[in-house]
Amino acid sequence: MSGLPRPLGLPDFPWDTLAAARKQANGYREGIVDLSVGTPVDPTPATVQKALREAADAPGYPPVVGTGQVKQSIHQWMRHRGMIELSDDAVIPTTGSKEMVAWLPKLIGVRPGDKVLYPEVAYPTYHVSAVLAGAEPVPVNPYDLSTWPDDAAFVWLNSPSNPTGEVMSAEWTQICVQWARERGTVIVADECYAELPWSPRYQKSGVPSLLWPAVCDDDARGLAVLYSLSKQSNMAGYRGAVMVGDQNLVSAVVEGRKHSGLMTPAPVQAAIAVGLNDWTHIHDQSARYGRRRAALLRAVETTGLIPYERTEAGLYLWLSASEDFDFEETDLVAPNRGRALVQWFARRGILVAPGDFYGEKSVDFVRVALTATDESIEKACIRLSA
């Protein structure tokens, strides 16, 4: 017997652990308000839908490297974000950003014995990316380089952060780049929430990018950026995203994707090309999330919940509880304060994500998504305020 299938060593899928809380929230007399996963609920822009329909007659295989149309759109988007100029060979569409996060270290040759660094409070797929490559996952403090092993092969940055919403300054990002180049380490930044800034500072200047000229010294060597249209354009169902950066890294990804058939469907590439630079709908969606965020924050102020003070962008509230928070006895049976808060929300018909999904350093927190309809957000605010 071969013993197949053999386990990959992946962690338990975290969302499966919310089944009991979901059941409790579903039992609320007016139904559940789901603020856990962060799935967009607003309509996909009409311009994007039109582009998809018009490209629906696609009998041939799409180019792995991307169509000329989508490459032109990616370059235009990069200029809007203030990034450096790159060649066509250094920009590609991808099939969603989560899939690229999971497989990127493997595709560029990270192997057993290598170290993959990622923020100690972070989206769990960064950890998964190291496991799939057979490498060692190492959570680190992204603002303390003394916690970064000198022999790291690969570093994940995430700004704005999921789950905290913290934005890494251009100055600190530049220091990270210098650290990596001195050691021959690759840095990849997941910047998929960059068009959702809440701090007036970043609404004016834009969220800093790893590929800003002043950050990378006008040189993409050893660097790459991932970006998704799921949040800015309500295109999560399309699985449309982009990768830009060091041509050598992008070429390695293209080679692996050619052999494995990982090509972005042609109609989706057409939709990406339109959605990436339709700034009217991008600004409208950001304003919509801003209103929902403001309403939830007002409601939270009445509860004893504490919003994370460095949340400056992104799609979530990152909340903890005051020392004298009004938990019920049944809540306190939970293994940590974050899980107790999940139960506290569930009793009010609201489902949120526990902080322990995002690492050992975040067990006292919960993540609350802004991705619900205005009506659902209003219901959540009423329940919290009551």
Residue pLDDT, tens place only, 227-256: 999 999 999 999 999 999 999 999 999 999
Residues near 371 by beta carbon (within 8 Å), at least 6 away in sequence: 35, 37, 38, 39, 40, 41, 289, 315
CATH fold label, 46-277: Aspartate Aminotransferase; domain 2 (3.40.640)
pLDDT at 327: 86
Q: How far is CA 288 from CA 89, 163, 195, 312, in A?
A: 36, 19, 12, 16
- 218 has pLDDT over 60: yes
Average pLDDT for residues 311-336, to the nearest whole number?
A: 91
Q: Do domains 14-38+281-385 and 46-277 have the same CATH topology?
A: no
pLDDT value for 141: 98
Q: Does the pLDDT of residue 10 top 90, yes or no?
A: no
Residue 336 confidence (pLDDT) above 70: yes
CA dist., res. 102 & res. 90, Å (int): 20
What distance in Å separates the CA atoms of residue 110 and residue 113, rounded to the nearest whole number? 9
pLDDT at 1 over 70: no
Which residues neighbour 230 within 8 Å (Cβ) at sequence distance 6 or greater?
40, 96, 97, 192, 236, 238, 240, 241
Choose among 86, 74, 149: nearest CA to 118. Answer: 149
Quote the pTM value.
0.96
Q: Can you give the length of the chain in residues?
A: 386
Q: pLDDT above 70 covers what percent of the chain?
A: 100
Is 73 a residue whose pLDDT tops 80? yes
Question: Does residue 331 register a pLDDT over 90?
Answer: no
- Output 3 or 345, whichever has higher pLDDT: 345
Secondary-structure class of domain 14-38+281-385 per CATH? alpha beta
Where residue 15 falls among pLDDT bands split at 50, 70, 90? confident
How large is the average pLDDT for residues 342-351?
Answer: 96
Q: What mean pLDDT, rounded, does the chain reach?
A: 96
- Whether the per-residue pLDDT at 271 is higher than 90: the answer is yes
Mean pLDDT, residues 253-275: 96
3-class DSSP assignment, residue 380: helix
Residue 48 has pLDDT above 80, yes or no: yes
Q: In the chain, what are the domain boundaries?
A: 14-38+281-385, 46-277
Assess whether the previous peptide bond of 5 is cis (omega < 30° from 0): yes
